[in-house]
Each structure stands twice: as C-alpha cells, then as structure tokens.
Structure 1
C-alpha cells in the first residue's frame, strides 16, 4: 500500500498497519516533501511524489489521507492508475464528486472503501448485536450528540474545519451517522437547522498560534433523520459548545434504552436500561478487539471481490448524501428526501 497525505492522522494508520498481516507500507507522498520524508523515515517506506506513487507497481492500494477538498482528485487519479483506494472520510467534498469517484471505480473494476471504520470495533458492534437480538424490543428513536468548543483549540492548522466540506457535521458527523446506519439502517429523509456564531476563529496552538481564520460554514447543526425502518434519530453536531453530559449515542426501543459508546473510538461500554430496571453494562459480544484506524482498510483487502467491504464507498456515499441534505434543509426549512441508500454492512463477529 501507499499513503497519499502525511498529516497528523497518518501516524494512527501507520501504527496499526505495522501489526496487521497482509498489509505492507511501501511508499508515502505528500505535497510537503518534508512531511513525506518524516513518515518514510519512521516506517521504512519510500518517500515519492504523488504521481510516482500512483504509478509505482509495488503499490496495490492507495490510502487517501488528504484534506477533504482533495479526496476526489486523489481517488480519481489512483483509480485511473488501476489502484484500489481506501480514503478518510468524507468520501468526497460533495455528493457529485463522490458519484464520479464511484462510477470511475466501477468502470475500472477496482475496490473502493472509506472511513470511518470505528464502527467495526467492539463498541458499536456489541450494541448492534444486542439490538439485533431484540434486547431493546423495536427500535423507535435515537439521539446522537457531539459538542465541543472547536478544533482550533488544539489543531495547529485547523483552517479546513471551517470552510465548506468541514464544520462539525462534515468532520464528526460521519462517525455518528455511520454508527446510526449500522445500528438502525439507512435513512430516507432529513430535516435540519444550523447556525454560525462567529465569523472567525483564532488558532490556539502551534507556530500559527494567535492567527485568526475565517469561518464560512455552519458550526452548529441539528437535524432529524427518518430511517427506512421508521425510527427517528436526532443529531446534534457542534463546535459552539463548552461541554456536554449527553451520551454520544442513545437508542430507545419499546422495551429498553441503550447507551452506545463514542463512535469516534473503537471500544467502550454499552449500557442497557430496561423499562423496569436500572442502567447496567452489557458483555462484549461482537466486533474487532483492539481495533484501530486501518481495520477498515484491512477488511477491504480481505473481502472477496464479489462482496462489498464493511466500510464501503456506497455506505460513505449515503452518509455524504445525508449530510449534504441536512445542510440543504437548513437553508430551505423543508424536509429533504435522501436519493441514495445502502445495505447495513454485515456484522462483525467477536474477533
């Protein structure tokens, strides 16, 4: 495999790749040659230019870790070179670009996957197993809440979080929406509202500390997702909150409620509260143990070509469609139908 984009997230992947059989990092590339060299020196891979990496016969699959605005461009170039592609979320900056990537992959006959793969860990998978086993009865509703003060407090280059294609919805929404689809199935329509409280943010750390950056995308988004099953999910994604004590995800059935751990992590406790009872932890029943970023990539490489990988591009397209439609709804004040769909990915046995 080869990595395009050697920013902060690349370290999480390279650490995981080292312990996954069947994956070998052969080359890395970045627009900043210094960053590529740093990763190459740490991993033993070769530092190449992007075109040289894409044409390298020793690269079978490209891990696309570029900024969201470049996801489609890099994916299309890799597909044109005959490489399989696994990318960070979102699949592309827009639904139109994502569809172009999917069509190109289909025409070229290459495999295409996309983060997040956090839903493959024991946290979300254990919750899914208990829901599928009927422990909460019929799922009726869910809440999903992510509330922070914003990424400029810790990220040295947070500019892309505050332009279209960023914001709390496009940055963190994929974790929560992918988990909701994994737990409750695809979504048929959405309605949302949004706000932007400040026109600029100030970088708080790193060499650019004190530098103001413009904000041109909503920084607080809330919406209601109607699943095909009839269940209703309420979503809150915010960079305008000091803190929250709300569960990351809570699923309500007619027999019990379930707390699902942080979908930005792979594990965590799943808690159950029956109608007549109290909160109690549930045993781990499913998912990859000790998983980390890169397990979706490994799942892609081991999935038979005739099957979709669990972290599939079709799932990522559906998530992107939901997010775009939510933002459309925030400007039209109308319910927006979702024109894409997907199957719930196959569950992950306890592995």
Structure 2
C-alpha cells in the first residue's frame, strides 16, 4: 500500500445511508473510492455503477483487496462489531457509522484489536466537524457566553416508520431514539463541553409494535422516549430528551453560560444557523457561521489526512466509545432508577483549522508522513 497521496477506501454496506456518503466522498480529492461491498451483491454493483466505483462484491472480497487502506462500515448496528473486527484483521483501518458497537464491551474490543494491529478506528457522527458546530466551538472558546453552565437538548418526532423503507432495525437493540439519534446530540455536547461523568434517566415505550409504510408490523424492542440528566467533568450539566413518540418533529440544542445562551443548529446537519442572546440583548441575534457544509464523510476525510500526516483524527473511536458508554449508562439508569457513572475520558477536540478545505487536495505524491500513524484510536 502507498503511504502517500490519496487514501484508498472502500464501503461495506450499500444501504439507505450509503448514498449520502458516496455523494460526498466522491468530491474529496484526498480519498479514492475503490470498492463497495454488501451481502446483497447486486445492490453493491448497482451503487458502484452509479458512483463510478471500480470494484464491487461481497464483504469478504472487498476486505481481500490489497490496495484498500480504510473500510467505511455502513452496515446495520448489529453488524458493526463483526465488520469492524474483520476489517482490522484484514489489515485495514476502519471508520464506522454510529454507534461504534452495541455495547461498550464490544466497542472496547474494537479499539483493543486496532491497538494490537497498529491500526486506527474512526466513527460517526462527524456533524460536529461541520460549519455550524465548529463555529459554536470557536464562539465558546472566545467567551461569547462566558463560562458554560448548562445545556438543553431535545430530539423528538414520530420515528422513521413512515419514510424509511425498512424501519424495523430502528427499534432493535443498538437503535431507538437514543442510540440512533442520541449520538448527534451527545457527540456535539461532548465536543463542546467535554466528557460526561454521570447520568440519571427515565424511559418509556409507547407501543409494543410499529407499522411500516408498507403495512408490515414489527416489534419494538427498545425504549422510544427517554429523559436524561448529564453531568460533565468540566462542570456544566445538561438535560436531554430523545423521543420517537411525538407527532411534532423538533430539534433543540442550547448552551447557557454566565453571560448568555448559544442556540446551536440541528446537530444532525453540517450548517447553521447559530444564534446568541446575552443578558443585555432584547432578542436573539445571529452569529457568523464559517467552515464546510460538505456532508457525511468529513470524518473519513479528516481521518485520511491524519493517517498520511501522523496527526490525530477528530471523529475517533475513543470519542465514539465514550458516547456509546454514556448512552449505555443512560439506559442502565432508566432501568435501575439510580445514577450511573461514566468512565472518565480525557481529551480535547481541536477545532478544524480556518483554512480546512475538503475539496482542495492536500495529499500529493511528494508528501511523506511527518510521523507514524498513531495506532488504536
């Protein structure tokens, strides 16, 4: 494999989300899409033809390709661990869709395997690398609302039953509103406020079965409405609601500090708006939003560039494992009606440089890594 120039990547999983990645990754000159794999081989070939990807086949054949350096794992949550471990054992770095795994134990297994193989793990969501949340991070660091004190997060709606062609997996272990949508909100909060230390929660399931748009019914195996309290190591606290039981879609993410409140964009997007209201203000006012709104795959690109230069990538396996453990502890707290503690995690997520441009090539044939890739993250 080359250790310079664009990074050769392959996708495993050609389902509903893959199109969003393929639309974006094809615009980045620092990565090269070489293959698509899926258990449904015909679906892999269809996607490969549409996006002009040279190779397609089943997952095993894609993992056997010698030029592939990084696997983008877009399988359903129940397969995340199996595919990640297989990718690492095939000598490939891996970047996965969220959640990292179904359990912190399996997530830790993935990171341990990466460490043993001298490889890296990355994981969605990467929306915190978009212009909206990056601008929020810069505003907080500049003291726009003083010292952060508290945060509020709300994700509610009727669930994906009406629009997704196969919605049953959204109500299976590893999904539900917490594991499916929670990572966007929790990752944004961790990126902006630091790691979570403890949680308390309540949870309900409104209906034991759901109906897909096709008319088929399927069981609900996870809570569909959760309220949680979170404490952060740096001092702030937050309240969060995650629900698939409301007829009204709603997204809210706010951070309040000693000098005012910052209203953030939907953390499942890459753009604004970003607003602020300080105590002396009569109303909300907009803040400038700078950065990229390219879409899903920014974390893959940041990881590819980091692999070539020996720097740390931002949407890391460690961050994803912390968010996964936080969600697991929220579930445990709801079941036991007791406060649950989250394993301490110590990291500061660097904002992207102001001149970070996903569509400008930074990896040329003459570039040599400045250091060996840092394994296991």
- The counterpart of 1:188, out of the listed 176, 197, 219, is 197
Map of 1:106 onto structure 2: 115
Q: Deviation per CA, 1:305-348: give whole Å up to 9, x if none.
A: 65431100000000000000000000111111101414131111
Following the alignment from structure 2 to structure 1, what is the Cα–Cα distance between the partners of residues 254 and 57?
45
Q: Does 1:239 align with 2:244?
A: yes
**Structure 1 segment 1-351 matched on structure 2, within 5 A:** 1-45=9-53, 46-204=55-213, 209-243=214-248, 248-277=252-281, 278-285=283-290, 288-304=291-307, 306-350=310-354, 351=356
**Secondary structure in structure 2 of the residue aligned to 1:151:** coil
TM-score (norm 1): 0.96
CA-based RMSD: 1.2
Q: Is the 8 A contact 1:124 1:179 kept in 2?
A: yes
Structure 1 stretches of at least 4 aligned residues deviating more than 4 Å after TM superposition:
none
CA deviation digits over 1:240-283, x for unaligned, max 9? 011155x5201000101010000000011110001010210001
**How far off its partner does 1:291 sit?**
2.1
Q: Is the 8 A contact 1:256 1:274 kept in 2?
A: yes
Matched residue SS, 2:230: strand
Q: Distance in 2 between matches of 1:271 and 1:101?
A: 38
When the two structures are superposed, what TM-score results if normalisation uses the length of structure 2?
0.89
How far apart, in 1, do the equivalents of 2:301 and 2:108 lie?
24
- 2:73–2:83 CA contact under 8 A, matched in 1: yes
What is the CA–CA distance in structure 1 between the aligned matches of 2:113 and 2:201, rounded to whole Å?
32
CA distance in 2, matches of 1:43, 1:153: 27
CA contact (8 A) 2:158 2:249 kept: no
Distance 2:232 2:110 in 1: 26
3-state SS, counterpart of residue 16 of structure 2: coil
8 Å CA contact 1:117, 1:295 repeated in 2 = yes
State how many pairs are aligned: 344
Residue segments in structure 2 that go unaligned for 5+ positions in a row: 1-8, 357-377
Which runs of no fewer than 5 residues in structure 1 stay unpaired? Answer: none
Structure 1 contact 144–176 (Cα < 8 Å) conserved: yes
